[in-house]
């Protein structure tokens, strides 16, 4: 085995499911040696016709304890990676880096009572992994999952979210999770209708949650559109909520693999 081959494993594509016209999920086999913390991402590679490999970063949707790996992707028209991926079917192979990456994990916080998970689009993926891991339910008294999309049809994994607290290993924590959907380009029953930053600034998000965003009790994770992350960080900073660093624990954690 060459040095380059040792950096990845070849895994089997088990399932590809279109979730909406522009979004799809994929499930692959999992190498027994692949370990990750809930919230981390993997590097996936597809081989082009000329033999070169295109790599992209994808957060795991699945829990660290599943025997398979689940990922959530947007269809990029003409995109180099998704164009190659769209040609693959069940039973085909793709490459996965042996190492997991990323710091959007609960390790970023040393304390906190309430956990806010703020996502746009496919940024929901790492939060679904975190919510399938027992640790988050043990550590926090309240969990707010805020999921913003442009159109209601882009709201994915609703059955998974709705069924979390029905799982046997989470039954004792029922009532901790509140799901707050946001649909920005159309009115949708039960959903808020403005950008995350606007909803924080005008207080509507806190009213919907029945909970205040405070430096003392709130810990916030952000994943999704880079502009949303930058803008939300600025809004939170105005409330004395700062990025959590290894040398200086704070209240905010972000993923920046885009």
Confidence (pLDDT) at 18: 87
Question: How do residues 56-103 score in pLDDT, each as one tens digit?
Answer: 999 999 999 999 999 999 888 888 888 888 788 899 999 999 999 999
% residues pLDDT > 70 (the chain): 97
The model's pTM is 0.94
Mean of pLDDT values over 7-18: 94
Residue 6 has pLDDT above 80, yes or no: no
Mean pLDDT score of the chain, rounded to an integer?
93
Q: CB–CB of 77/70 below 8 Å? A: no
d(CA 139, CA 106): 9
CATH for 5-97 is 2.40.30.10
d(CA 258, CA 178): 27
Hey, how many other C-beta atoms are within 10 angstroms of the C-beta on 77? 7
Strand bridging mode 177-183 / 218-223: unpaired
Confidence (pLDDT) at 79: 86
Residue 2 has pLDDT above 50, yes or no: no
Query: Coil, helix or strand for 121?
Result: helix
Which residue do the tokens 């913390």 mark? 37
Q: CB–CB of 173/132 below 8 Å? A: no
d(CA 97, CA 8): 4
* pLDDT bucket at 257, cuts 50 / 70 / 90: low
Residue 44 has pLDDT above 60, yes or no: yes
Report domain 106-254's class.
alpha beta
Confidence (pLDDT) at 252: 98
Residue 169 has pLDDT above 80, yes or no: yes
Domain spans, the chain: 5-97, 106-254
């Amino acid at each position: 085995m060459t040095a380059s081959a040792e950096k990845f494993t070849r895994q089997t594509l088990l399932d590809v499911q279109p979730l909406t016209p522009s979004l799809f999920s994929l499930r692959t086999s999992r190498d027994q040696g692949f370990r990750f913390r809930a919230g981390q991402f993997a590097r996936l590679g597809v081989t082009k016709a000329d033999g070169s490999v295109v790599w992209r970063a994808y957060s795991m949707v699945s829990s660290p304890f599943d025997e398979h790996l689940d990922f959530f992707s947007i269809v990029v028209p003409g995109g180099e990676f998704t164009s190659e991926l769209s040609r693959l079917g069940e039973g085909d192979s793709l490459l996965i880096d042996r190492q997991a990456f990323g710091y959007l994990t609960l390790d970023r916080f040393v304390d906190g009572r309430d956990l806010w998970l703020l996502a746009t689009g496919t940024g929901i993926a790492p939060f679904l992994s975190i919510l399938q891991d027992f640790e988050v339910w043990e550590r926090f008294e309240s969990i707010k999952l805020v999921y913003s999309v442009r159109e209601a049809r882009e709201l994915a994994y609703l059955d998974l979210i709705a069924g979390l607290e029905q799982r046997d290993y989470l039954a004792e924590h029922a009532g901790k999770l509140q799901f707050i959907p946001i649909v920005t380009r159309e009115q949708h029953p039960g959903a808020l209708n403005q950008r995350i930053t606007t909803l924080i600034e005008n207080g509507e998000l806190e009213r919907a949650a029945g909970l205040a965003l405070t430096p003392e009790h709130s810990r916030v994770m952000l994943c999704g559109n880079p502009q949303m992350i930058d803008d939300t960080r600025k809004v939170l900073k105005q409330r004395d909520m700062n990025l959590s660093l290894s040398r200086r624990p704070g209240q905010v954690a972000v993923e920046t693999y885009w």
